[in-house]
Amino acid sequence: MKYTKVQNFINGQFVDAQGTGYLDVISPVNGVLLSQVPLSAQADLDKAVASAKAAFKEWSQTPIKVRVQVFFKYKTLLEKNLVELSKLVEEENGKTYTEAVAEIEKAIELAEFACSLPQLVTGELLEVSKGIECRTEYVPLGVVASIVPFNFPSMVPNWTIPNAIALGNCMILKPSEKVPLSVGRIAELLKEAGLPDGVLNIVHGDSKMVEAICDHPGVEAVSFVGSTKVAKIVYQRATGNLKRCLALGGAKNHLLVLPDAIPGMTAQNITASMSGCAGQRCMAASAMVGVGAVDHIIDQLVAEAKKVIPGENLGAVISKESMDRINNYITSAEKQGAKILLDGRNAKVAGKEEGYYVGPTVIDHVTPDMDVAREEIFGPVISIMRTNTLDEALAIENANPYGNAASVFTQSGGAARYVMTHASAGMVGVNVGVPVPREPFSFGGWNESRFGVGDITGKSSIEFWTKLKKSTTKWNPEAGVNWMS
């Protein structure tokens, strides 16, 4: 085992979990056993919540301009440790080093946004009648929880940690049991940046720990990022316990390609979108809908996708189960009558035979009823459907139950505007394969890609991590008495 067993992080210390079981943490790159992650007990969660609750007293009373100083330092520490942090993400998640660097750079941008929060949460004040003032303040909730997936071991925890904590909350983080290592470094760097003990606590585990968090009476709010199946479970369980909840789920993102799209640029964007992070992004292109005569673009797409080489510029998928699942999707499309233009099954990387690789895969003549058209594959696979009109293409996009992202490739402003208006997705791209909004714009899908109100990052997250206090004051005797005083 390359690293020691993973520990929880409670009250500023790394401590052994009290649960009895451990799960292996395997590197998808080469199948090497990296570590073991504990299945923590209820007692571990109780301690973490108690520590967060105790820390909340002082942290919530610390002015926000002081609180964000931690994140200025944290940002600098992320920059200083970028290489080491990226290597750890590469090792535990399987994405390429270049992709891991991009992930840490995004974490840096998220920390930077948190530093700007004092400018955004100034509240409001108005003299509402003679001598009487109303003012609003954003007040932290208390102990909040963040449950995260495997595909971004650093970025997704950094979606929630900086904003929630800068806004005055104390947090319990439940990492993915598949990638539990990067969050340990996040905790260390935040401690080095001056975060007081107890403000961030990490409790490892699997679905049982998620259920315990949703049920814990000391937790005020739960944010979740992961698959739609689990997002529904978490949203129902947390809100059933009368907690605030925002649960982001899976995706099936459609790229609509019109014949006037610039072929080279479109082919490159689609390839990058479907194969980046081995297709394990909730913003990945999973379906392409060609409108009319687009064979010349599909030819270029196949040529571009052939340049994506497993083990070089294409990383591994997270597990053997994922690899088998993705391969089975390709086989099912073939059986259902689709045409495989580029086949990523049986990918092997010399020297990394025990790693989990799927090559880039382009499937043409897919029909909307096929499994590959309807379900999230979460691998480097693009399924191409064909229509005659833009409205038919939009009908396919609208009919899918998810709603994270949709993009259109065209040189027509009118067609682009039409798609922006009619796509049923929270994030829309025009000639952009991965339309992730950058800070201060917020990240969040629609439909079954998100349960709850608001988005998880940017300005929208302020509403989720705070409650509004409204105070009315009258100090002046001349204010007298009116209907509301």
Judged by CB under 6 A, the residue of 105, 206, 215, 343 near ligand NAD is 206
The stretch near ligand NAD (CB under 6 A) out of 49-57, 121-129, 205-213, 388-396 is: 205-213
Contact 358, 310 (CB under 8 A): yes
Site size toward ligand NAD (CB under 6 A) is 28
The stretch near ligand NAD (CB under 6 A) out of 90-98, 106-114, 143-151, 359-367 is: 143-151
Closest distance of CB 337 from ligand NAD, Å: 27
Tell me which amino acid residue 141 is: L
**Residue 256 to residues 141, 142, 329, 413, Cα–Cα distance (Å):** 42, 44, 22, 14
CB atoms within 10 A of CB 151: 26
Contact 300, 267 (CB under 8 A): yes
Kindly state whether residue 376 participates in binding ligand NAD, applying the rule CB under 6 A: yes
Output the CA angle 250-253-254, nearest 5 degrees: 160
The stretch near ligand NAD (CB under 6 A) out of 28-36, 144-152, 353-361, 462-470 is: 144-152
Judged by CB under 6 A, the residue of 11, 36, 227, 424 near ligand NAD is 227
Rounded to an integer, what distance in angstroms lies between the CA atom of residue 406 and that of residue 423? 7
Cα end-to-end distance, the chain, whole Å: 69
In terms of CB distance, is 176 or 361 closer to ligand NAD?
176
Judged by CB under 6 A, the residue of 27, 182, 400, 404 near ligand NAD is 404
Kindly state whether residue 248 participates in binding ligand NAD, applying the rule CB under 6 A: yes
Kindly state whether residue 147 participates in binding ligand NAD, applying the rule CB under 6 A: yes
Kindly state whether residue 45 participates in binding ligand NAD, applying the rule CB under 6 A: no
Kindly state whether residue 149 participates in binding ligand NAD, applying the rule CB under 6 A: yes
Tell me which amino acid residue 255 is: L
Q: What is the 3-state secondary structure (H, E, C) of 280-332?
A: CCCCCEEEEEEECCCHHHHHHHHHHHCCCCECCCECCCCCHHHHHHHHHHHHH
The stretch near ligand NAD (CB under 6 A) out of 105-113, 187-195, 248-256, 265-273 is: 248-256
The stretch near ligand NAD (CB under 6 A) out of 71-79, 193-201, 203-211, 238-246 is: 203-211
Kindly state whether residue 103 participates in binding ligand NAD, applying the rule CB under 6 A: no
CB atoms within 10 A of CB 95: 30
Handedness of CA 208, 214, 218, 221 (dihedral sign): positive
x/- letters, 170..189, toward ligand NAD (CB under 6 A): ----x-xx------------
Closest distance of CB 92 from ligand NAD, Å: 13
Rounded to an integer, what distance in angstroms lies between the CA atom of residue 471 and that of residue 475? 13
In terms of CB distance, is 367 or 424 closer to ligand NAD?
424
x/- letters, 427..446, toward ligand NAD (CB under 6 A): ------------------x-
Tell me which amino acid residue 69 is: Q
Classify strands 466-474 and 132-140 as parallel, antiparallel or unpaired.
Answer: antiparallel
Kindly state whether residue 154 participates in binding ligand NAD, applying the rule CB under 6 A: no
Closest distance of CB 55 from ligand NAD, Å: 23
Q: Is 282 a catalytic residue?
A: yes
Kindly state whether residue 230 participates in binding ligand NAD, applying the rule CB under 6 A: yes
Closest distance of CB 227 from ligand NAD, Å: 3
Rounded to an integer, what distance in angstroms lies between the CA atom of residue 146 and that of residue 231? 12
Q: What are phi and psi of 228, to 5 degrees?
A: -65, -40
Q: Which residue is nearest to ligand NAD (CB)?
A: 226
Contacts 24+ apart (CB under 8 A), 130-133: 130/478, 130/479, 130/480, 130/482, 131/474, 131/475, 131/476, 131/478, 131/479, 131/480, 132/472, 132/473, 132/474, 132/479, 132/482, 132/484, 132/485, 133/472, 133/473, 133/474
Site residues (vs ligand NAD, CB under 6 A): 147-151, 156, 174, 176-177, 206-207, 210-211, 225-227, 230, 233, 248-251, 282, 376, 378, 404, 445, 449
The catalytic residue positions are: 282
